[in-house]
Amino acid sequence: MPTGTRIAVACAALLVACSSRPPLSPLDPRPVRERESWTAEVEGRAVGKVVLLEIEDPAGAVRLYRVENDSGQWLGWVDTAGRVWQRVPFREDDLFRGVYPMEKGLSLLYEVAVPVRLSPRDGGPAEADHRRGRDQTR
């Protein structure tokens, strides 16, 4: 094989090898989508919102609920297993509050003694499927 052909083949092999994406590490960022959102209410008064987030991961989608106050500040997180984390200013990690039903976890994050009720938000995220048959009386 002539030298020029060898160089061309080697360059082509390098281009193919460089064009594939390296595998994701556990610390690499992942795409996150807002799937649904609800207004959080205490005794009929809106105190914030709860947003269902879906994180794309090679092992499968991860779902979390982000809890915000009425100013849009993040109060914490609740995962699908009911584990509750509270955000604390000037602290590196979120504070684990325990495992609770959603109603109790939200009461902890909003720092109220009465249950927090969720109602569907008008004009929710665009990715949410509004045609699903879900209970609107939550």
Both tokens of 102, joined, read 């959603």
Over range 108-112, report the average pLDDT.
96
**Beta-sheet pairing, 74-79 with 83-86:** antiparallel
In 3D space, the residue among 122, 118, 115 whose CA is nearest the CA of residue 138 turns out to be 118
pLDDT interval class at 100 (50, 70, 90): very high
Residue at 128: amino acid letter: A
Spatial separation of the C-alpha atoms in residues 101 and 107, rounded to whole Å: 10
Model-level pTM?
Answer: 0.69
Res. 87: pLDDT tops 60: yes
How far is C-alpha 104 from the chain's CA centre?
20
